[in-house]
Amino acid sequence: MTLRETIEQYKGTDKTLCIGSQSAYFYIRTAENWEAEAEKYTEGYRLAKSWTIDEVKLWAEMWYQEEAAAGDEKKFKDYVDFFGLGGMYDILEQWEECAYYVCAELKSYLGRQQRKHGISISYGLQMLFDYHDALCEVTDLPLSEISPAQAWPGNLREAHDAIMKAKKLQEADKFHDKFDKTARKWAALEWSDGEICAVLPKTNLDLVNEGDTLNHCVGRYGADHVAGKLIIFIRHARRPERSWFTLNINTTKDKWSEVQLHGYGNEWAHDKRLHIPKKVRDFCDKWEREVLTPVFKKVKAAEELAKKQDEKTDKKKKARKTA
């Protein structure tokens, strides 16, 4: 529905239609005076009668940043056609006050990425946002202080994959001590029936590699793992270093619970739904029954004993202070 069609619905009513946001408000009180009302803000709204409501909203967002932006309706429409409305709003959110002026550079850059490397505009835009976020996090610098050559790499896909790997490695270092402590605490969970085995990750990088190999999201579970929502690698006993299935167990409550068990692509590959083999499910059931349950009880009992001992120690310290 165009703006003109929408406004016609307001004819003869006392309703107020507001389009836009922040300091760029566009008030239309009746169908008779909407053009005059628009011209109070910017002459560019004269063309708005043929635009959709969403396009006018976006125009208002862009206009309030700089009056010059409102003077080139054709360029604005070219950007909308190139990036799409969703992409334009993403640009506005990412670059805020300089969004309109970044559009020209983005259009040229993503056009080159599409021609040279086959990256679609919408996918390339999101990839660039993710790349910039990770780049700033890894370098601990704002985007404005990063060199243009690094901020706008010649091959966006390669640069994106490289910075994401660097980010994962950086995150891995944060959990080193906690992973070591978790591995020692739950060491008794590692077990094999001769054909299949259960293996604990020793570092956050183990999770990252597992997620990359099996094409699922376990690489982001480092914080959950060290907090007690354990990740257990289910593998062939003859090849324990090779990823196969990933089991997630929650040990943070009074009773353990299985959260999920997944293999490659969470059992979805080549547009087909895959199934977890019966022998894998049977192994996990047996491991949970014969290994996890008794180990869980021992760990919880030890934690409770340690808690009581800490409470006694605290009481003694307080008693000495008051004596």
Does 97 score more than 70 pLDDT?
A: no
Residue-wise pLDDT tens digits, 163-204: 988 887 787 677 788 999 999 999 999 999 999 999 999 998
Report the amino acid identity of residue 201. Answer: P
Percent of the chain with pLDDT over 90: 41
Predicted confidence (pLDDT) per residue in 72-90, tens digit: 667 777 888 888 878 887 8
Exposed, middle or buried, 309 (CB in 10 Å: 0-12/13-18/19+)? exposed
- Residues whose CB falls within 8 Å of the CB of residue 63, separated by 6 or more in sequence, listed in order: 24, 41, 42, 44, 69, 70
The size of the chain, in residues, is 323
**8 has a pLDDT exceeding 60:** no
Q: Are 151 and 135 in contact (CB under 8 A)?
A: yes
Least confident of 53-57, 88-92, 119-123: 53-57
The pLDDT tens digits for 12-39 are: 444 444 444 333 334 443 334 545 544 4
Mean pLDDT on 292-309: 94
* Chain Cα centroid distance, residue 284: 30
Contact at 8 Å (CB) between 304 and 220? no
Find how far residue 145's CA is from the centre of its chain: 24
Q: Mean pLDDT across the stretch 241-258?
A: 96
Model confidence, pTM: 0.52
Residue 322 has pLDDT above 50, yes or no: yes
Per DSSP (E only), the strands in the chain are 17-21, 24-28, 191-192, 196-199, 229-236, 245-250, 257-262, 268-269, 272-273
- The token duo for 190 is 């590692």
- pLDDT band at 10, cuts 50/70/90? very low
Collapsed DSSP state (helix, strand, coil) of residue 80: helix
Is residue 270 very low, low, confident or very high in pLDDT (cuts 50, 70, 90)? low
- CA 181, chain centre distance (Å): 28
Assess whether pLDDT exceeds 90 at residue 62. Answer: no
- 208-234 per-residue burial string, b: 16 or more CB within 10 A, e: under 16: bbbbeebebebbebbebbbebbbbbbb
- E-strand spans in 155-228? 191-192, 196-199
State the pLDDT at residue 80: 82
